[in-house]
Structure formats: C-alpha cells, structure tokens
C-alpha cells in the first residue's frame, strides 16, 4: 500500500505516548509462558511482531488472553510446560520471535518446526543454531541449518561459555534462555554490550543471573514465578518523533513514559552530542526498567561520528539518525554498523538509496554511511522494502521535504507501530 506524506513546516508540539517496547513485550510473553502461574502484562505492543510471539506460545499449549488495550494474561505452565506443537510455528517478520523461541525450544524434549516470512527466511539463523547445537540441541534447516524454516529437537542440554562474534541481544538471549534448561552456569560474552532486557526480566521472574559489563551468566533450572509487567513506551518508536521535533524549528514535544534503559538510549545520547536539546524528566524504575518523560526541543544540529560501543545502543535507530544527520550542519559518519545488512532488509542499502532519492547527500559504506547535512529535501516516490523502520524514517524525512513523498509498502509500520501515520499527521498537518 502507498502512504502519502505531505511536506510541512508546522512546529511539533504537545504530549504524546508511543506504543509499548517491542523487545520487552516479546520477552514478557516468553518468560510468562515458562513461569509458574499467572503473568499480567500492561502496555503490551499490539504490533504484528509481538502478536507472532503470542501465536507461537499458544501453539505450544499456553493459554494467553489478549485484550485490545494491550493487557495480557499469560497462564504459565513452568519450564517444561510447553507441548509438542501440532502445527508449524510462524514467527512472521520477527527475528526476535524466531531466535528467542529457538533458545527455549532447545530445552524442550520434543520436535518443532518454525518458519517466517520471506524477509525472515533470508536472515542468518546459524548465529543462534550453532551455539545451541554446542549445548546439545539438534536442529536443521535450509542452507545447512542457517535459514528458516528450521526444525529443532531439544532436551538434555549442557551449559556452555560462549564468546559471540557479534553484539546481538537475540543471540545472547537465545543462549541464556537455553541455559535455563542446562544444569550449571551458561555464560555469554559479547564484543560490545547489547540490550539487557532478558537479564533484567529473568531476574525479576526469579532466575539467578549475573550480568557484568559484556558478560552475562544464568544458572540452570530456576523456579520462575509469574509477574506483573508494565511495558514502557518503546524508545525505538519514540525516536521517530524525537527526531521530527529535533529537526523542525520551533518544536517542543513531550514523549511520556519512554523506556530509557542505558543499553537502548544511544539515540538520545547521540542527538545530544549533535546539539539536540533533550531532557529526561520524571525518571523512575518500573518493573526493573528505567523510564522517563522525554522532552525534545528544536535546536540546530551538527554532524558527528557514531561508532563502536554506541552502535548496539542505537542499532534500530540508525535509519532515523540518518534523517537527523541530513538536517545537521556538516558531516556525519556512522561506522561499525555492518549488522544493519541483516535486519528486516539491508538497512544500509535501503536508507541510503531512498534518502538519496529525496535529495539527501548520503553515501553507503561497507559498515555504515556518510552524510553531508544541510541539503534541502524534495518529495519523491520511495520504497520501504517492507521494513517498518525504513518506512517510518522516510515518513519523517517526508514531512520536512518540499511537496509529497509517496512511500511504497508503507503498511509495514504495523509490525511495530500500527498508529504511526495517524500520530505523525496529527502532529504535522
């Protein structure tokens, strides 16, 4: 479906709330399903990716009540309460669903098959399947077990100490979740620290977790108890509106109840480094996660270099960061971000090619991109390549371009932010 975005200069003002955090929503269902007793979730993200996770655990025999308001009740059956599924599990477009469920399936003494859509079927799964096989899980799939659909037979795991070649919370989480089913200590080390929602949530469910710098360990066979989980607003969704306000003169926007976990708030740190005026108010901890109201005011931005440990803390925000860089004075260099190539689409290719169509001076690099900011944008037909974060980044750029920007396959925002266009139009038109 095409989505038409009109260029405007209207100041972005007011108070908004963005939908629940995608990473935390997935984990609430998965951990709730393997805990003893009831888990109540508030603020669950009703996007397609998280609903894929619900669908999978239901096929594994878990009763989940989903209310349209984003309140969930999960009737957990304990670590070994899942049943061998009759049907193929379907992760849809969601890498988190597929990789984290693989970790849990590795611990189950039965056979299951999991598939995904065309995008997910082209993404690498060997990065999870190989270490799980070192723990004793038996699995196979297309391209020598690297691509979905994947079949897995779990059970009888032993703990490992694994040094991951990439900073990826999905790899780390899959192994820690499998570690719940291995007698002893399972440890994962990463080159840079990735998001730590799994560690935080496992600890609140009662698991013994040790997390220090780039290393996390879990003890096998804990007693997990159902919890009440309040999901904060997703900083990755908030980022689109933070940048919209940061690049539109006269704007002042308050984003209420946003998760500001240090392993996720790289976008705020980098926008501040670029000269952005962002304040965190009313900071508090809810269900083990730091939360704040984020106040963004327009101010002129300048180019920066973003690299190294900053990258995993804003990996999903790089498409919208590229938009901010296009409106900043001078050069922005984004490097060490080769992981972007294996997201829902090749995001280096997608964002650089489509922002260039709008007139931005942006060049792809092997592990990132270089942007010369300050060139005016002009609306044009562009493509999301069915990647929700590309669609939303292009839409924000489109509001600041002259004329109309037409986004092909714009409907993919339903993956993580179903009301995105309504909210963008309310603020900009």
Active-site residues: which are they? 316
Binding part of the chain for ligand S3P, among 52-60, 166-174, 208-216, 283-291 by CB under 6 A, reads: 166-174
Look at residues 15, 43, 24, 70 and name the one whose alpha carbon lies nearest to residue 423: 15
Which DSSP string corresponds to 372-423? E--PPPB--EEE-TT-HHHHHHHHHHHHTSBSEEEEETGGGGGGT-TTHHHH
| Contact status: 96 vs ligand S3P (CB under 6 A) | yes
Size of the site for ligand S3P (CB under 6 A): 11
For ligand S3P, the closer of residues 362 and 415 by Cβ is 415
DSSP per-residue codes, 323-335: HHHHTSBSEEEE-
Neighbouring C-alpha atoms within 13 Å toward the C-beta of 137: 35
Site for ligand S3P in 256-315 (CB under 6 A): 315
Identify the residue whose tokens are 């009440």: 228
**Torsion, CA 284, CA 210, CA 213, CA 24, rounded to 10:** -50
To the question of whether residue 216 is assigned a binding role by annotation, the answer is: no
Query: Does 169 help bind ligand S3P (rule: CB under 6 A)?
Result: yes
3-class SS of residue 49: helix
Interatomic CA distance for residues 196 and 317, integer angstroms:
17
168 near ligand S3P, rule: CB under 6 A: yes
Which positions from 26 through 85 interact with ligand S3P, judged by CB under 6 A? Answer: none
Please say which residue, 5 or 29, places its beta carbon nearer to ligand S3P.
29
Biggest alpha carbon–alpha carbon distance for the chain:
61
User: Binding to ligand S3P by residue 414, rule CB under 6 A?
Assistant: no
State CA 209 to chain mean position distance.
22
User: Binder to ligand S3P among 23, 28, 119, 139 (CB under 6 A)?
Assistant: 23
* Residue 99 labelled as part of a binding site: no
List the x/- string, 327-366, binding to ligand S3P by CB under 6 A: ------------x---------------------------
Per CB under 6 A, 317 contacts ligand S3P: no
195 vs 257 by CB, closer to ligand S3P: 195
Enumerate the known binding-site residues.
22-23, 27, 95, 123, 168, 170, 316, 343, 347, 389
- The footprint of ligand S3P (CB under 6 A) covers 23, 96, 168-170, 173, 194-195, 315-316, 339
């Amino acid at each position: 479906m095409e989505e038409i975005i009109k260029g405007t200069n209207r100041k972005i003002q007011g108070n908004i709330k963005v939908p629940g955090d995608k990473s935390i929503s997935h984990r609430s269902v998965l951990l709730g399903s393997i805990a003893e007793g009831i888990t109540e979730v508030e603020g669950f993200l009703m996007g397609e990716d998280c609903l894929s996770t619900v669908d999978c655990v239901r096929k594994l025999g878990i009763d989940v009540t989903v209310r349209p308001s984003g309140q969930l009740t999960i009737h957990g059956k304990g670590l070994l309460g899942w049943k061998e599924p009759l049907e193929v599990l379907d992760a849809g477009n969601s890498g988190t669903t597929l990789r984290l469920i693989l970790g849990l399936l590795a611990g189950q003494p039965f056979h299951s098959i999991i598939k995904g859509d065309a995008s997910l079927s082209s993404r690498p799964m060997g990065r999870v399947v190989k270490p799980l096989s070192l723990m004793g899980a038996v699995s196979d799939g297309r391209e020598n077990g690297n691509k979905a659909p994947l079949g897995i037979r779990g059970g009888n795991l032993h703990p490992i100490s694994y040094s991951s070649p990439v900073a990826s919370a999905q790899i780390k989480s899959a192994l820690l979740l499998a570690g719940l089913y291995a007698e002893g200590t399972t440890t994962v080390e990463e080159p840079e620290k990735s998001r730590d929602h799994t560690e935080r949530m496992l600890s609140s469910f009662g698991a013994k977790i040790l997390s220090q710098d780039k290393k996390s360990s879990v003890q096998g066979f804990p007693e997990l108890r159902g919890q009440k989980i309040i999901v904060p607003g997703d900083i990755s969704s908030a980022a689109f509106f933070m940048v919209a306000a940061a690049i539109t003169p006269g704007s002042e926007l308050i984003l209420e109840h946003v998760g500001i976990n240090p392993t996720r708030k790289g976008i705020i740190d980098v926008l501040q480094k670029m000269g952005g005026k962002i304040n965190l108010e009313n900071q508090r901890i809810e269900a083990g996660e730091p939360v704040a109201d984020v106040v963004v005011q327009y101010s002129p931005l300048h180019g920066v270099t973003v690299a190294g440990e900053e990258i995993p803390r804003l990996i999903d925000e790089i498409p919208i960061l590229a938009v901010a860089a296009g409106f900043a004075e001078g050069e922005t260099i984004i490097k060490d971000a080769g992981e972007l190539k294996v997201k829902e689409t090749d995001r280096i290719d997608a964002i650089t090619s489509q922002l260039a169509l709008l007139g931005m001076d942006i060049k792809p690099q092997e592990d990132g991109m270089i942007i010369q900011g300050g060139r005016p944008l002009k609306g044009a037909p562009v493509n999301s390549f069915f990647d929700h974060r590309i669609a939303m980044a292009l839409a924000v750029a489109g509001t600041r371009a002259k004329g109309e920007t037409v986004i092909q396959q714009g409907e993919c925002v339903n993956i993580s932010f179903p009301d995105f266009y309504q909210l963008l139009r309310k603020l900009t038109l």
